[in-house]
Amino acid sequence: MRKAKNDNHYVGLLFSLMLICLVATTAASQNLRLAKAFTVNEGLASNLVYSCTEDDKGFLWVATDNGVCRFDGKYFKRYAMAEGVPDMDVLEVLKEKDGTIWINTFKQGPCYYDEASDRFIDPLKNVNIRRDFVRLVLWTRRLEEGGVVFFNTGGELVFKNKKLVPSESRTAYRFFENGKPNWMYAGNINGLKYYAYLKSQNRLDSVLLFEKKEKMRLYEINIQLKSKLYVLRGIEKIYIIQKSSHGNPIHVVEKEIDENPLMIRENGNEINVSTAKGSIYVFDYRTDSLKFKISGNFFANSSFRDKNGDIWVSTMDKGLLLFRKSTLNIIRPLPPPPTRNNFRSVCVDSDGTIYGGNNYGEIIEKPRNGPVRIRSINAKGNTTRVVGLLKSQNKVFVLSEWGCFVDYNRLVRLETSETIRQLKKGVIYNDSIIIVSGVDPKGGLYKINTRTERATRLKVPLLRVSTLAVQGKYIYLGTTEGLLRYDYMLNTLSEVGASTPLKSARILSTTATPDGLIWVATLNNGVFVLKDTQVVYQVSDPRFLNFSVVKLQETDKPGLLWTTTRRGAAYINYSMDQGRFNYTITNLNHEDGVSNNVITDIAYRNDSIYLAAESGIAIIPANISIPRFDIKTYLTDIRVNQKQLPVATSYDLPSSDRTITLTFSGVNLSGYFDHFVYSLNQDSSMPEIVGNTLNLSLDPGRHVLKVRAVNINGLISHHVLTLYFNIRAPYYRSAWFIVVIASLVTGIIFLLLNRLKTLGQKRKYAQKKRIDMERNRITEDLHDDIGSTLSSLKVYSDVAVNMMERDAHKTKYLLEQISINSSKILEDIGDIIWSMRTDRQNMLTVDSRIKNFVSEVLGSREIHYEINIDPEINDIVQHITARKNVVLIVKEAVNNIVKYSKASLVSIRLYAKNDLLRIEIVDNGIGFQEDAKSSGNGLRNMKKRAEELGGVFQIASFLQKGTKISVEIPVTNIRDKGI
C-alpha cells in the first residue's frame, strides 16, 4: 500500500513538472504557420491552457487553470464553479466516443457536460467509493468499446453512459482483438529492469524494455492508446509496444527524440508527445513515424488537430495558438533584424525571378530555381526606401527617394544632368519607356528611356501623382484631388469623372484590366469601374469599404482582379452581362501569412500573386478558391424575463413571459464566421444581429424565429436555426373567458338599465362624501393654522381698545402683534391655497416656494444660508397635504432658527434616497438642552406634520454647537396628487 502511494505521488510530481517547466525553442514545424493566438484579451479564461478538444457540434473545449471554456471560433464561454466545475484547475478535457465531454480536474475528480442544463455534472455525487486516490493526479483514456476511464497507480474509475460501473483490474490498459480482451502494461522489477507485459485471458507474455543503472534517475510513464502501449522514459526515448501477429507475441519499436518526453495523448490517427522543453512531437499512429514537430517561443502542453486539419496548441503562458496548414509560400531571405524582411515593393520577371525591396535600400533577387542574391543601392552611404521595382530591356530599375537606379548602381538623370528625387510610383508604358512619378514643384511626372537610361520631365503641372495605370496611349494619373488622363502621344491632360464622386476624390490606386476596364480605388468612396472614362459601377460593399483598398492588381484573366486592403488581401470575381455589372468579393484575411499583415505592394505573374508584406514576400496561387463554410447556428442560452431556460427548439410561454434574450453560436473554428441575420415570422428583411445576442419582446400568439450565420465574405449559410415561440394569450383573451364575460356583460347591462338611477344617486353620494372629507380636512387646516391666530387677533384687538387711552406704548405693541398675526394669516392662507392648486396656473414649485421663503426670511436678517434641493423633489411631492406639510416643516424650522438660534449659517437640503424623501436643516446657533425639545409648539408642529405623512421627525441639538433637524418621509405617501 505504501508503494502505491509513493508511485502516485511520483506521477503527480511529474505532471506538475510538465506544467511548471518553460523552455522556448526556435524550431519551426513543417508546413504549419501560426495563424492566431487566443489569450485573455480575446475572452479566454486564462493564458495557461492544458488541453483542448472538439465536440461533435464543432465547439472547441479548452481546459485552463481558471475553468473550462467553450469556443465557437469567435466567442469564448467560460464554465466555472457556478456551472458545476468542481475545481478551477481543469487539467484535461476529453470527448467520449458517444460525444460526451468530460473534464479532469485537479484533486476533485471528473465531471461531464450536460447540454440540457448547460452545466457540468459530478458523476460521483452520492456514490459511496474510496476517494483518496482521486485527490492525486488522474490520467484519462477514452475506451474504444464506449465509456471513459480515469486512473492512476492508486486505482481507476470507469464510466459508461455517464455512470460509474464496476471495473476489472487494469481497464485503462485493456484493448479488444476479435472481440476478446487483452491487456498491455509495463512495470519494473526491483526498480532496475523494466518489462512490457501482454496478457490475454489464459496467457501472459513479457519483454524486457530496458535496464536501469543504479545511479540513473529517470521516470517512466506508460499509457495504452488504442491497441498500442506507449512507454515514455525521461532519457529522450519512447517505446511503442504492440501485439505481434507472427513470431514473438510482443513487437517493440524504439523512437528517439531530441528532448525528454513528459506526456502522451491520442489525437485521431496522430500521437502527440509533449516534452520537458515545451515541444510536441507528432507521430503517425499507423506507421509510428514522426510527422512533424511543434515548437517555438512558447511552452506547449498539448496539441489538437480539429476537423479542418488546423492544429490548436495549448501553452503554459501564451494561451491557445492556432496553426494552419497553408499553401502560401513566404520568402524571408534577409538575416536579422526581422524588419529587414519588411518588404515595400515587389516585381516578378517573365522568367519567374522575384525582386523585392525593403526600407533599407536592399533588394533581393530570387530566381525560380536558384539561390537568393542580395543587392543594395546604398553605395553612397544613404539608406533609402525602395518604393518600386520595374524590369525593362533586361535591366532592373529601382525607384527610391534618392532617385532611379539602373541595375543597382547607375542613377537615371535628366538632360540637365539632374537626378530625379522623391520618386513614388512607376509603370511600364512600352518596351523602352517607363513612366515614373515623384514630388517636384516643377512637375512630378517623368518618362525614362530604358535604352538610353535618360529621363525627361513631362509637361504635366502636377506636384504629386500617387498612382499610375496604362491603357493604350493613355496614362491614368491618380492624385489627391481626383483622376486625370494623360494622352502620351498628344501631350494633353484631361479630368475624368468630373460629374461623379470621383471629382476631387483622393485616389489610392488605379489599374487597367484586359477587358478594357479602368479600376480606381479611392480613400472614402470605394472602388469605381470605368469604361471609356465613364463610370459604369461603384463597388460600395460596406465590408469592403471598412478597409480602404491600398493597391489594385490586374491579372491576364478578364473577370479576376486582386486587391490589398488594410487587413490583408482579397480578390474580386466580376462580370459584365448586358451592361449589368456583377461581382463577388472574397477576403483572404484568414489565410496564413496574410492575416494581420501590412501589405505594401502586389504583383502578378504566371498565375501567381506576389505580396510584399511586413513579414516577407508571400506567394499565392492566383486561382485560389476559398471554400464555402456552411456555418451552423446553435442556440446556446435563452433567458425569459432574465430567468434562464433549458435550450430547446420550441417554447410555450405564459403571457407574462414576453421579454426574451437569446444567445447564439456560429460554430466555425476556421474563423470565417462574421455575424448573424434573422427573420421573425413573415419578415423577409433579415436584419443583422449585433454581436451574438438578440433581444425580443413578443406579443401573444405564435412566432417563428429563423437565424442564419454569415461568413466574412457576406455569404449566408444554408443552415437555418428555427425556433418556435407560443406566447399564450392572457386569460381575458381566451374563448371560455370571452363567453363568460359576454354572458356577464349581458346580465350586467340588464341590471344597469334597472338600477341606473340608484347607481347615479350612489355616485352623487360618494362624490359628496369625498367633497365633505376634503372640506373637513381643509376646515381642520384652517382651524389649526388660522383659527388660533384669529383668536389671538380678537384678544389683541379687545385689549388694544381698552388700553388705547391708558397705555399708548402697550397699545402700540398690541397693534404690532395684530399686524404680525395678520401677515401670518395671509401667509398661511396662501400656503393652503398654493398646496391645493396643482394646475398649470400655479407657477411656484415646491423648491421655488421654499427658496423664496428662505431668501426673504434669512436674507433680510443677514443670515448666510445654503439651499440644496434635488430637481426631482418637485415630481415626488405631489399630494396636496404633502406639498403643504413639506413647506411648512421648512418654514417652521427656519422661523425657529430666526427666533431662537442666533445662528450665522443655515444649511437646508431636500433629496430622495432609498425611496425616502429626506429633509435636513442644520444651523450653527447656540442650540438648546434636551429637556427643551418638548416645550416648543414649533417642534411639536413639525413632528405632527411629519407623522401625518407617515414620516419620522428627529432633532439633535447641543449647547453652542447648533441644531440639526432630520425628517424622513416614504415617497409612496406623497406621490399621489389626491383629490
Q: Which helix (H) or strand (E) holds 762?
A: helix 735-781
N-term to C-term CA, the chain: 87
Which three cell numbers mark 794?
380678537
Q: What is the DSSP code (8-state) at residue 768?
A: H
- C-alpha span between 932 and 38 (Å, rounded): 73
DSSP letter string, 280-330: EEEEETTT--EEEEE-BSB-EEEEEE-TTS-EEEEESSS-EEEEEE---EE
pLDDT tier at 1, thresholds 50, 70, 90: very low
As separate numbers, helices (DSSP H) first and strands (DSSP E) second, the chain gives 9, 71
Question: What average pLDDT does this structure show over 646-650?
Answer: 93
Q: What angle do CA 6, 8, 12 make, to 5 degrees?
A: 115
Q: Give residue 580's pLDDT.
A: 86
Alpha-carbon distance of 357 to 346, in angstroms, equals 6
Cell of 317: 503562458
CB atoms within 10 A of CB 746: 10
**Under 8 Å between Cβ of 233 and 261:** yes
Residue 778 has pLDDT above 80, yes or no: no
Which H/E stretch holds residue 836? helix 808-836
Map residue 771 onto helix, strand or coil.
helix
**How far apart, in Å, are the Cα atoms of 513 and each of 219, 484, 527, 582?**
66, 18, 14, 16
Confidence of residue 384 (pLDDT cuts 50, 70, 90): confident
pLDDT at 794: 61
User: Is residue 571 a contact partner of residue 591, using CB atoms and an 8 Å limit?
Assistant: no
DSSP label of 65: B
User: Average of pLDDT values for 167-194?
Assistant: 86
- What does DSSP say about strands 693-697 and 659-667: parallel, antiparallel, or unpaired? antiparallel
Rounded distance between C-alpha atoms, residue 96 and residue 805, angstroms: 116
Retrieve residue 642's grid coordinates: 432574465
Is the pLDDT confidence value at 978 over 60?
no
pLDDT band at 847 (very low <50, low <70, confident <90, very high): confident
Predicted pLDDT of residue 36: 87
DSSP state of 666: E
pLDDT tier, 751 (very low <50, low <70, confident <90, very high otherwise): confident
Report pLDDT digits (tens) over 917-941.
Answer: 999 999 999 888 766 555 567 788 8
Q: What are the φ/ψ torsions at residue 479 (nearest 5 degrees)?
A: -125, 180
Q: Which residues lie below 8 Å from residue 371, measured CB to CB, with a gap of 6+?
A: none
- Distance, in Å, from the CA atom of 364 to the CA atom of 346, rounded to the nearest integer, reads 10
* pLDDT interval class at 900 (50, 70, 90): confident
Q: Rounded distance, CA 766 to CA 758, Å?
A: 12
In the structure, what pLDDT confidence band is assigned to residue 593 with cuts at 50, 70 and 90? low
Query: Mean per-residue pLDDT for 748-775?
Result: 74
Neighbours of 397 (CB within 10 A): 23
In this predicted structure, what is the pLDDT of residue 7? Answer: 39
The residue among 664, 672, 667 whose CA lies nearest residue 628 is 672
The one-character DSSP state at 141 is: E
Look at residue 633 and tell me whether its pLDDT is greater than 60.
yes
Q: How far apart are CA 230 and CA 437, in angstroms?
A: 66
Whose grid coordinates read 543597382?
408
pLDDT digits (tens, 9 = 90+) for 131-161: 777 878 888 999 988 999 998 888 889 999 9
- For 704, the grid coordinates are 417563428
Flag whether pLDDT at 6 surpasses 80. Answer: no
- Looking at residue 654, its pLDDT comes to 92
For 717-736, give the DSSP string: PS--EEEEEEEPPPGGGSHH
Q: Is a pLDDT exceeding 80 seen at residue 835?
A: no
Nearest CA among 725, 709, 705 for reference residue 652: 725
What's the pLDDT tens digit per position in 185-231?
998 877 678 889 999 888 899 999 888 776 555 567 788 898 999 99
User: What number is the average pLDDT over the span 873-896?
Assistant: 84
Compute CA 27 distance to the chain's CA centroid, rounded to the nearest angstrom.
33
pLDDT of residue 273: 92
User: Using one digit for the tens of pLDDT, what is the confidence trace for 445-475?
Assistant: 999 999 999 999 998 888 788 899 999 999 9
Q: Which pLDDT belongs to residue 703?
A: 95
Q: Give the span between the Cα atoms of 76 and 60, in whole angstroms.
A: 9
Give the residue among 420, 414, 10, 45 at the shortest CA–CA distance from 191.
Answer: 10
- Give the span between the Cα atoms of 35 and 620, in whole angstroms: 16
Taking the C-alpha atoms of residue 527 and residue 390, their distance in angstroms, rounded to an integer, is: 26
Are 949 and 881 in contact, with CB atoms under 8 Å apart?
yes
Helix (H) or strand (E) run with residue 273 in it: strand 270-275
Residue 885 has pLDDT above 60, yes or no: yes
Sequence-distant (6+) residues with CB within 8 A of 634 are 57, 72, 664, 665, 667, 721
Please give the pLDDT value at position 59: 96
Centre a 10 Å sphere on the Cβ of residue 732 and count the other Cβ atoms it contains.
9
pLDDT digits (tens, 9 = 90+) for 684-732: 888 999 999 999 999 999 999 999 999 877 788 999 999 999 998 887 7
Contacts of residue 188, Cβ cutoff 8 Å, sequence gap at least 6: 194, 195, 212, 220
Residue type, 20: I
pLDDT tens, position by position, 524-539: 888 999 998 899 998 8
Q: pLDDT value at position 377? A: 92
Mean pLDDT of all residues in the chain? 84
Query: What's the rounded Cα separation, in Å, for the pair 888 and 15?
Result: 78
CB atoms within 10 A of CB 487: 13
**Axis crossing angle, helix 808-836 with helix 735-781, rounded to the nearest 10:** 170
Is there a contact between 329 and 366 (Cβ–Cβ < 8 Å)?
no
609: left (phi over 0), alpha (psi -120 to 50) or beta: beta
337 preceded by cis ω (within 30°)?
yes
Q: What is the pLDDT of residue 594?
A: 59
Side by side, the strands of the sheet bearing 568-577 are: 549-554, 560-565, 568-577, 580-587
SS3 775: helix
pLDDT above 90 covers what percent of the chain? 44
Looking at residue 22, its pLDDT comes to 29
Return the axis-axis angle of helices 788-803 and 808-836, rounded to nearest 10°: 160
CA–CA gap between residue 954 and residue 959 (Å, rounded): 17
Quick one: CA torsion of 921, 922, 926, 931, rounded to 10 degrees? Answer: 60
pLDDT at 532: 86
pLDDT at 9: 37
- 66, pLDDT greater than 90: yes
Amino acid 627 reads P
Nearest-angstrom CA–CA distance, 358 and 457: 27
Instruction: Report d(CA 527, CA 549) in Å as an integer.
Output: 8
Phi and psi torsions of 7, nearest 5°: -65, -40
In which residue are the cell numbers 513487437 written? Answer: 251
Least confident of 254-268, 556-570, 747-761, 789-803: 789-803
Confidence band (pLDDT; 50, 70, 90) for 979? very low
3-state SS, one letter per residue, for 363-396: EEEECCCCCCEEEECCCCCCCCCEEEEEEECCEE
Distance CA 323, CA 36 (A): 7
In this prediction, residue 53 has a pLDDT band, given cuts at 50, 70 and 90, of very high
How does residue 840 score in pLDDT terms, banded at 50, 70 and 90?
A: very low
d(CA 205, CA 195): 10
How many percent of the chain have pLDDT more than 70? Answer: 86
C-alpha cell at 320: 491557445
pTM, 2 dp: 0.63
Query: Residue 4: which pLDDT band, with cuts at 50, 70 and 90?
Result: very low
Band of residue 793 on the pLDDT scale cut at 50, 70, 90 = low
Cell of 786: 388660522
